[in-house]
Structure 1
Amino acid sequence: MKNLTVKYIFCAFLFLAPNLCLSQNFIRGVVQDSLNSPVFAASVQITESNSGKVISYTSTDSKGKFELPFKNSGNYLLEVNHLSFQRYKRDVQLKPEINIDLKIMLRESYALLDEVIVKSTATAKQSGDTISYNLKALTTGNEQKLKDVIKRLPGLEINDDGKITTNGKVINDLMVNGKKIFGDNHQMATENINAEMLEGIDLLNNYESFSAIKEIEGSDKTALNIKIKKEYLGKITGNADGYGAHKERYKAHSNLFRFGTKANVTAIVDLNNTGEQALSLKDYISMSKSIKEDLKNNDAALSSFINLPSIPDFLVQNNNVETKRSEFASFDFAYNATSKIAVNGFSIFDFTKSNEKILSNKSIFRLGQPITTTDSQSAINHFFFNQTKVNIDYKPNQNTLLNYSIIFDPSEAERGRNTNTEMISDSISNSEINDRFNYTLGHQLSYIIRIAKNKLLSFNAFQEFKQQDDDYTLQSSEGVYGQSFTNLSQNKNIFKFETGLFAKYTQKIKNHILRLNSGFFTINNRFSIENSLNNSFANQIKTNLDYSFFDASIMRKIGLFQYRFKAEFRNSIISSGGERKEIFQFLPTAQFKMAFSQTHNLTLSYNRTLDFPKIEQLNEFSYASDFRNLVLPSQLSYSEVFNQDIFSVNYFKFDLYSGTVLMANSSITEADQSFTTNTNNRLYFNEIQNMISPKYFTWNSSIGFEQRISSLNSKFKLNANHIYSDNYNHINNLQNRSKTNIYTIKGSLNSNFKSPLFNYEAGLFYSLQKSIYTLFNSDNEIKRLTPLLNFNGRIDNKFRYYINNAYEIFKANGSKRYFYDLGVKLIYNKDGSKFKYWMEGVNILNMNNPEIIEISSNNNTFSVDVISRLSGYVGFGLSYQF
């Protein structure tokens, strides 16, 4: 480390030495506020009075001091900017061999600053809280969609879930020309907006659409604004695509946009049986979040007592299916009716049908020798999902905001599965049908008013309904769960209703912000089961949680040293079955931040959360989970409290000159007790019982690095993650400690050749999962290695080619599988023509259904699954551009 530091210092000296030799004169000074306190991180620059060309620039240090070198004499303009103060300007006359010393006082500003250019480089420029990317310098011109462009921008990523992230966190808002698009469904925009439509991309830090909040409280949100070229505004643009391949494979896709000054309208339709899934599992989970996420200007630690709806098992499969057919349609709009009223919303429909085929070898651990089984499974799945959401902002004046949003999302999943099990010398067949219907209806109202120059009041109210209805039937060649009958019919129903009302007062006192927050929530839950496994045909449990809270926080969000302290006091009254308990909780939060600049910071934080058992975990009756797992009456009490202490550290540095990005995150979560299960192994099935675990610990760390390599005209990216978990479960009533380490490394080298003929992406993905089970003194190891080498380019401005190569290697406890994925795409598009033709081959070395191996390990089961994956295809397509 010492040698590395010396090298950096030496390189910096070589870089600065010529300037030091030539620049003998300086403008020095100190920047202070009206109380003579130093102003940290103010931008200072001198420009030519006539041309406006930047001659020199810097930023103030923690003592408010700055120093600017200059070489040439003449008349110049000195400018000082800071987000919290009014802009300062003065004319200066520079003379050789004469230094200038200044004392500058800035006046506090309560209005948003106009654009202030702090840095301008080949990669990006920073204007206040906005980083504007130079797309011409960062792209090759061969990018097809918005996602291809974003992947080339320093500091931005598209994660495995299709979400846009910065500094390791998902951005809060995605906008087109300042108007929101598709809510949290970033993939809808990134995979449909054409790269050629992009004028620019801005990353907005400390983003807040309502200026009163921004000026008094500041903001921790981020947004990404996509700017569309003028020639695409005010008219219908987009594409209509058709594609056909052998074995009756097809794709039909259309994306239509109309971006205007007052309104944006988007329509997307996609039909295919190639395996392309517009709505993934992660999208479904993200879209199933609570309406509480929409509440404006409230940072209350809202209860997570209500969980997500049941997740269709087959959504996890992605393309690990024999066949898949998808029908998808979406509509999005944003309309600024007047300067006071803005409306945006979307509606998404997704229909999916798939067929699965899996050969699963399982080792079920128990005392003595493990039980070994072989399951041969085939399944047919149907899935429907819709989400419709509308958001309305009404601003009668610059100090008042009224916001209302409503969301409705019904979904239905039907799964028919046949399983033949070979166990010891027996062969058992099971047939299952699972029909699930869920819906969520929620709405919220937020009212925010600035009552004084530095004071803000916020009021929030919301209601949310959730219904989950699950019909399950099982037919078996043996008695069901050791019973005499071979058929089982079951209905499982969960209903949840939550409502809340609370208010917040905020006051800005010089450089500090004081918040007081108070509210009341009530949550009603009902869980019922009807089957023939229990003494009573109908079984039901109800819980009710009422809690009131008060919290106070103080924070400082400017300067080198920033911090936030928060204390929440919560009084919960929880009842069930005629019993009632009152629980008082103290929930502290602390955060310390060293803001070296707007793009360089170090943050340390701590917070405590609490939760109660979910209604599904409190069953007083038995029910079937699937043909192999029977859930017994729970050992949990409705009043159990799960506290978590979370410690985290985050480091971020983004050099706008070089495009170098360094991100490092680490967090530790500890709990004295948590939810777990006890699994009793029977010969043909498992009995699972919910219970308390004595300990829970996780450590999650990640590091990301990006560096342009000018000599190679390329960019190197590295992401590494480590997750360690230490928890307990029980096997046959004996405690089993499970320790798991998961390591992932993803590195890539991406070229940025200005010659359009050839560009490449070379990369490597590696993952290792190691699990240790103390009860059995055993460990499992799962490895995956995927090198890739992709090429793309343009020939004669008419042809574009894309070649993708990936070789996947799977290893687990002696089992191996190899999978080579080769894809080719050739596009012909003549200048000035609205038609585009292409030939595309996907996974062309596996034209019949290939097999891959997947390994999973949980509780007492280790499973090695051989899965039939969608076969490759080759075909031709035609596209028309509007």
Structure 2
Amino acid sequence: MPKYFFVLFFLFSISAFAQKQDFKITGNIISSEDQGPLESATIFLEKIQDSSLVSYTISDRHGDFTLENSTSNTKLRLNISYIGFKTYTRIIPINKQNIVLDTINMAVDNNQLDAVVIESRAPITVKKDTLEFNVKSFKTKKDANVEDLLKLLPGVEVADDGSITVNGKPVNKILVNGKPFFGNDPTITTRNLTKEIIEKVQVVDTKTKSQAFTGEEGDDENKTINLTIKKENNKGVFGRVAGGAGTDKRYEFAGMFNRFNNDRRISVLMGGNNINSPGFSFGEIRKMFGSMNNVRFNQNGSFVIDGRAFGGGEGITTSKNGGLNYADKFGEKIDVSSDYFFAGSSSENRSNTERETFLPDGSFFTNSNSNSISDNESHSANMAFDIKVDSTLLININPSFRYNKSKTGFSRDEETLDENQTLTNASATSSEVENIGKNFSNRVTVTKRFGSNGAYLKFQMNNDISTRDTDDYLMTEVDIYGNNPDTTIRDQYTNGENKQNDIESSVNYNIPLIGDALFFNLGYTYSRNNSTDKQSTFDKDNNDRFTQFNSDLSTDFDYTNEMKRPEATIRFQNKIWSARVQTRYLWRTLSNSDFLRPQLNLSRDFEALEVTSNFRYKISSKSSFGIGYFLNNITPQLNQLQAFRNVSNPLNVIIGNPELKPTNSHSVYLSFNAFNFQDQTGFYSYLNGRAENNAIVRKTTVDQNFVRETTYANVNGNYSFYGSLGYSKQFKLDSLRTIKVNVGVFGNIGRDINFNNDIRYASKNSTITPRMYVTFNWKDVFEITPRYQLNLSKNTFDIDALNDRSFLYHDLTLSTATFVPKGLEWRNEIKYLYNPNVGPGFQKSSWFWNSTLAYSILKDKATITLKAYDILNQNTNARRTATQDYIQDSQSTVLRQYFMFGFSWKFNSLGKKGEVRDDVFYFH
């Protein structure tokens, strides 16, 4: 019986597809007023019986459009929408393959001119610099979240870690009704807000609030997504709680509660785990916090996202986190948003490293093993007050506070051997360090507009005050062998105090020269950064007390960086192209007082010209081109300038160079992006080149016992180029099945001037990484995505003492998702890594397989999960690093195989006018 059923189903499917009619509809749109073409009008076809979307496109610069697809309907409704014009509607008979329409005249909508808002059903609307998607036009599974929705939008790409790009450009900010939702991590929003409460998705160039107020152009290299919530869905509560327990004592828990009441939003979240999850997880492979755009890794294995500390990276980390978000509007003039985060983590890690360092007359080898245990605690609070005094005056106030406390225990054994594997020196280090850091910052911006042509006066002041106190107990033993053997033993305590006070103020006056197209901007910036750094080191006395002051290892600096910068900018913009040229002249004074070594005091004055310029050309509504040039001046750092002899590491003594000059960096970029909404085809390209004069590089000499002394020098001849190409195409097989192909390549090449035992040489490093992935999606049935990435790199040198080297790295991933039977979701990710270049004793290849089964119960309000991590038990992080003068293989502790059972429950009372739906409760 099942066989006959399958045959009947197969024949029925063939019959259904056979009855479909392919069609291609072409036409031209003009304005009935001036007979000019209308660019960026939205043209869409829908079924007459249920208004479901069949196909859509955007008109080009000449007003031409093409609609292609196939349908079993004999008639479809054609709709054309354009801001300021009446919607055009017409029934189109689908009776042949090629349908050519007469020229379509669009009539001006007087109601819209009188500010009467007409609700549009168009799937896509282009409003000046805003791309707007109508959520109703994009069908998703029943319980889809915002991330599921974004994956369906044309030109939008969502990576596994939750990072988003639109037409090849990264999204660095996501707003909800124009306000931030838990900071800048997009996954908090995209993976927790459900699609059903969202009305529209708007995409714009990223702007500051002041830029949006004055109508300035934003950052065209980054995008902002604004999610507008339906008015009837903007009142109620929703959230989710989850927990899981697994083998090897693995666990996770998380909870989130949101209460929306029109302009007032209150959200609370908390979570914890010991599975290296960066924040909050609800049992899925895809984490609630997964964005790695602003990640800073620490040596102990923990890492920081947007200033919040989490576990992860190397080692095993146990973390606990919590947060509160509040947004509100007081009257018509004041908007308030704020958030608070707490993060705590405990990490442990073991690592071993093998390095070969190249010299003009040979090489030497360094082997090390290290252990670390770290506890971290951080608190952060951010607030934003937007005060619109009237239609011409805006005040933005953004205070923030950070508190961090960490305690780390660290030990390392290291040995150095010559080419004959003879031991030349060895060291053993152990330390206990406790840090307490505090930071307060505030940014105030006052913007005053004059008239409606873009004239404004803007004043901004930033202040940043921070302190850091350190207690460091250090025990080291360094043994140098050979003809002059020596042993250095240190048992010391260091008390560190660092204070920093930075202030910057600026004023800008923008003058319109020709209407709202050509502008001239005058500005002036003053900044003063002052820091004090005091490190008091004491050796142990005969009574085992730290009383003997060690002046060689102690410091007491006061450092000031004062800068004055007048600037002038000319900017042109219209519907087709825009250009901007800014010139700045810097007067900078760097001064340092060394209270322990007054003879090392210094004061240096620098002057430099800086230039920023860019040009953007909108080829059509589907493509754009950009080019830019930048001249920047980079001053040396204090530790690079000051002739202080840093002997904290006896095996590598560092001394500054007071004669260093600033680095002048010249860079240029080219970009081209194109996306065809009809064909679902995208092409993205980017090229960046940089050349440096007076680049600052390390200059290291090595003695016969491989003890190093490092200083700094200026060199000319450094350059680098980076480029990327990407192409994507979506093929719609039918109303249920699609195939999406994405291919790309990125690469770089650079030349660096280096020194090897006072011998100057040049090295060239080049890398090319082609990648490809294909996604086959059968709606509500399954999805499969194979990905492959190849990394090829080569290092070449212009001296015979160093050999050219090439490296190869393979990365293959297969992701699958199955959604049948109804209520069951099974996700797998299988990764194969192959690195043939690592040294003996390091794992060259590994298979990594994660899997999750999730089953929805209680009318999709609850989910039971079974998660399997590293099923094949082969997780490894062996890696090879190559620089100008060494090759290093390293490996450290990683999270190993575990299985976890979990349960999650979600609630939602968002509904029409705040009424309670049947799923849960509602708080008043």
SS in structure 1 opposite 2:781? coil
User: CA offset at residue 128 of structure 1?
Assistant: 4.3
Alignment equivalent of 1:361, drawn from 345, 354, 361: 354
Report the counterpart of residue 450 of structure 1 in structure 2. Answer: 449
User: CA offset at residue 707 of structure 1?
Assistant: 1.0
For the 8 Å contact 2:477–2:488, the answer to whether it is kept is no
SS in structure 2 opposite 1:193? coil
SS in structure 2 opposite 1:376? strand
Does 1:570 find its partner at 2:570? no
CA 1:622–1:112: 2 relative to 1, 3 Å? farther
For the 8 Å contact 2:333–2:388, the answer to whether it is kept is yes
Q: How does 1:52-451 map to 2 (within 5 A)?
A: 61=61, 66=63, 81=83, 87=84, 120=122, 124-133=124-133, 141=141, 146-158=146-158, 163-190=163-190, 192-193=191-192, 195=194, 197=196, 199=198, 202-206=201-205, 213=212, 216-220=215-219, 222-228=223-229, 233-278=234-279, 286=294, 314-315=301-302, 319=312, 321-424=314-417, 426=423, 428-451=427-450
CA 1:513–1:442: 2 relative to 1, 3 Å? same
Q: How does 1:485-524 map to 2 (within 5 A)?
A: 485-491=489-495, 493-508=497-512, 509-510=514-515, 511-524=517-530
Report the counterpart of residue 555 of structure 1 in structure 2. Answer: 571
User: CA offset at residue 220 of structure 1?
Assistant: 3.7
1:360 and 1:45 map into 2 onto residues whose CA distance is 60
The alignment's C-alpha RMSD in Å is 4.4
Partner AA of 1:725 in structure 2: G
Report the counterpart of residue 833 of structure 2 in structure 1. Answer: 808
Alignment equivalent of 2:795, drawn from 771, 783, 804: 771
User: CA offset at residue 634 of structure 1?
Assistant: 0.5
2:437 and 2:319 map into 1 onto residues whose CA distance is 20
User: CA offset at residue 223 of structure 1?
Assistant: 1.7
Identity percentage over the alignment? 16
Deviations 1:824-843 (A, max 9, x none): 21112125263321111111
Deviations 1:67-97 (A, max 9, x none): 6899xxxxx999864xxxxx36699999xx9
Partner AA of 1:502 in structure 2: S
For the 8 Å contact 1:633–1:689, the answer to whether it is kept is yes
For the 8 Å contact 2:754–2:761, the answer to whether it is kept is yes
1:519 and 1:195 map into 2 onto residues whose CA distance is 44
Deviations 1:679-707 (A, max 9, x none): 23353654332333334312111122221
Partner AA of 2:679 in structure 1: S
User: CA offset at residue 399 of structure 1?
Assistant: 1.7
For the 8 Å contact 2:300–2:348, the answer to whether it is kept is no
2:89 and 2:731 map into 1 onto residues whose CA distance is 39
SS in structure 1 opposite 2:636? coil
Report the counterpart of residue 596 of structure 2 in structure 1. Answer: none
Deviations 1:834-877 (A, max 9, x none): 3321111111221xx84431112335332111323111111211
CA 1:371–1:731: 2 relative to 1, 3 Å? same
For the 8 Å contact 1:526–1:615, the answer to whether it is kept is no
Does 1:687 find its partner at 2:686? no
For the 8 Å contact 1:31–1:60, the answer to whether it is kept is no
- Structure 2, unmatched stretches of 5+, are 1-20, 68-77, 92-99, 281-286, 305-310, 539-548, 594-600, 908-924
1:201 and 1:18 map into 2 onto residues whose CA distance is 29
Partner AA of 1:768 in structure 2: L
Report the counterpart of residue 834 of structure 1 in structure 2. Answer: 861
Alignment equivalent of 2:657, drawn from 635, 646, 652: 635
For the 8 Å contact 1:140–1:752, the answer to whether it is kept is no
2:880 and 2:748 map into 1 onto residues whose CA distance is 18
2:608 and 2:635 map into 1 onto residues whose CA distance is 12
Report the counterpart of residue 772 of structure 2 in structure 1. Answer: 747
User: CA offset at residue 469 of structure 1?
Assistant: 4.5
SS in structure 1 opposite 2:643? coil
User: CA offset at residue 162 of structure 1?
Assistant: 5.3
SS in structure 1 opposite 2:748? strand
1:628 and 1:114 map into 2 onto residues whose CA distance is 73
2:54 and 2:290 map into 1 onto residues whose CA distance is 46
Report the counterpart of residue 725 of structure 2 in structure 1. Answer: 703
Does 1:589 find its partner at 2:595? no
User: CA offset at residue 154 of structure 1?
Assistant: 3.8
1:525 and 1:839 map into 2 onto residues whose CA distance is 52
CA 1:478–1:67: 2 relative to 1, 3 Å? closer
User: CA offset at residue 593 of structure 1?
Assistant: 1.8
Deviations 1:323-382 (A, max 9, x none): 321111122222122221111121222212121122221112223332123222222122
Q: How does 1:529-678 map to 2 (within 5 A)?
A: 529-531=535-537, 538-577=554-593, 580-623=603-646, 630-637=652-659, 640-678=661-699
SS in structure 2 opposite 1:795? coil
SS in structure 1 opposite 2:336? strand
2:291 and 2:404 map into 1 onto residues whose CA distance is 13
User: CA offset at residue 204 of structure 1?
Assistant: 2.2
CA 1:313–1:322: 2 relative to 1, 3 Å? closer
1:111 and 1:493 map into 2 onto residues whose CA distance is 64
2:134 and 2:522 map into 1 onto residues whose CA distance is 42
User: CA offset at residue 586 of structure 1?
Assistant: 2.1
Deviations 1:104-128 (A, max 9, x none): 9999x999997897x956xx55444
SS in structure 1 opposite 2:189? helix
SS in structure 2 opposite 1:742? strand
User: CA offset at residue 277 of structure 1?
Assistant: 2.1
CA 1:90–1:112: 2 relative to 1, 3 Å? closer
Alignment equivalent of 1:761, drawn from 774, 778, 785: 785
CA 1:244–1:26: 2 relative to 1, 3 Å? closer
SS in structure 1 opposite 2:502? strand
For the 8 Å contact 1:529–1:623, the answer to whether it is kept is no
Does 1:818 find its partner at 2:824? no
- Structure 1, unmatched stretches of 5+, are 1-14, 33-37, 71-75, 82-86, 289-309
User: CA offset at residue 498 of structure 1?
Assistant: 1.9
CA 1:134–1:802: 2 relative to 1, 3 Å? farther
Alignment equivalent of 1:732, drawn from 757, 761, 773: 757
CA 1:630–1:840: 2 relative to 1, 3 Å? same
2:410 and 2:570 map into 1 onto residues whose CA distance is 56
1:805 and 1:647 map into 2 onto residues whose CA distance is 40
Partner AA of 1:567 in structure 2: T
2:202 and 2:794 map into 1 onto residues whose CA distance is 38
2:244 and 2:699 map into 1 onto residues whose CA distance is 51
Report the counterpart of residue 869 of structure 1 in structure 2. Answer: 894
1:210 and 1:361 map into 2 onto residues whose CA distance is 50
CA 1:46–1:662: 2 relative to 1, 3 Å? closer
Deviations 1:281-332 (A, max 9, x none): 99899489xxxxxxxxxxxxxxxxxxxxx95553469755453211111222
Deviations 1:398-426 (A, max 9, x none): 22111100112222343322223344455
For the 8 Å contact 1:730–1:736, the answer to whether it is kept is yes
CA 1:284–1:452: 2 relative to 1, 3 Å? same
CA 1:727–1:525: 2 relative to 1, 3 Å? farther
For the 8 Å contact 1:749–1:763, the answer to whether it is kept is yes
For the 8 Å contact 1:429–1:476, the answer to whether it is kept is yes
CA 1:160–1:409: 2 relative to 1, 3 Å? farther
For the 8 Å contact 1:853–1:866, the answer to whether it is kept is yes
For the 8 Å contact 1:115–1:128, the answer to whether it is kept is no
SS in structure 1 opposite 2:795? strand
Partner AA of 1:474 in structure 2: L
Alignment equivalent of 1:525, drawn from 531, 550, 574: 531
CA 1:104–1:592: 2 relative to 1, 3 Å? farther
2:293 and 2:452 map into 1 onto residues whose CA distance is 41
User: CA offset at residue 495 of structure 1?
Assistant: 3.4
2:527 and 2:623 map into 1 onto residues whose CA distance is 39
User: CA offset at residue 647 of structure 1?
Assistant: 0.1
2:560 and 2:115 map into 1 onto residues whose CA distance is 45
